[in-house]
Chain A
Amino acid sequence: NAGVTQTPKFRVLKTGQSMTLLCAQDMNHEYMYWYRQDPGMGLRLIHYSVGEGTTAKGEVPDGYNVSRLKKQNFLLGLESAAPSQTSVYFCASVSYTEAFFGQGTRLTVV
């Protein structure tokens, strides 16, 4: 997945803790997305951004916040983690001709 770096790859949080996931791309893409993937549910959109300084809610935004202060970085924040947020998180960076995904973050909230 050249050009998209997602960090961290793994994390275990206690209920109520906070964390930030980073998605970084160096392809000058305008569109970036955060998804969660759960067994039997497929990929569900959390938040997305159509350009620097803009964000919008997706299908499952509750409990998450995002920021796109710089075009190359899209951050996903969990302010107070809950066990229901245990999932694998993927970011995507998209242009009109290509789409790249991060390697995923496996998050466990205990």
Chain B
Amino acid sequence: KNEVEQSPQNLTAQEGEFITINCSYSVGISALHWLQQHPGGGIVSLFMLSSGKKKHGRLIATINIQEKHSSLHITASHPRDSAVYICAMNTGNQFYFGTGTSLTVIP
């Protein structure tokens, strides 16, 4: 059983659409990370959250600690946003990863 559940697994969007990826986790955490991985590429940390909301450019990440839920939003999506987005929870000692959401943005 994965401690971190992500949805959807796959997502196709038209350029310009607003995108939401959801992450639910089952145990107490010290922080939650949103990561991005391009095909054949390395992994980059987009956000690290322990509460509230963070924004970086067109990306917004929110977390609700009580509901054990986080969302990653992409506004005005672009083909270069096509990647796998991974939610990871940090329990203090260990990281647990979701299986990722594969996003394809079509021009």
Let me know if B99 and A42 touch, CB within 8 A.
yes
Knowing that A43-B86, A45-B94 touch, tell me 13 more A-B residue pairs with CB under 8 angstroms. A33-B95, A42-B2, A42-B97, A43-B88, A43-B97, A56-B93, A90-B42, A92-B43, A97-B48, A98-B45, A99-B48, A101-B35, A101-B45
Let me know if A41 and B95 touch, CB within 8 A.
no
Residue of B nearest to A40 (CB): B99
Kindly list chain B residues whose C-beta atoms are within 8 Å of the C-beta of A48.
Answer: 93-95
Residues of chain B whose beta carbon lies under 8 Å from any beta carbon of chain A: 2, 30-31, 33, 35, 42-45, 48, 86, 88, 90, 93-100
What are the 9 A-B residue pairs with the smallest beta carbon separation, nearest first? A42-B99, A101-B43, A43-B97, A103-B42, A99-B45, A42-B97, A1-B42, A99-B33, A104-B42
Residue total for A at the interface (Cβ-Cβ under 8 A) = 26
The smallest C-beta distance from A94 to any residue of chain B, in angstroms, reads: 7
Q: How far is the CA of A42 from the CA of B98 in the complex (A)?
A: 7
A50 is an interface residue with CB less than 8 A from chain B? yes
Let me know if A94 and B44 touch, CB within 8 A.
no
The smallest C-beta distance from B96 to any residue of chain A, in angstroms, reads: 8
Let me know if A42 and B100 touch, CB within 8 A.
yes
Let me know if B48 and A92 touch, CB within 8 A.
no
Let me know if A101 and B44 touch, CB within 8 A.
yes
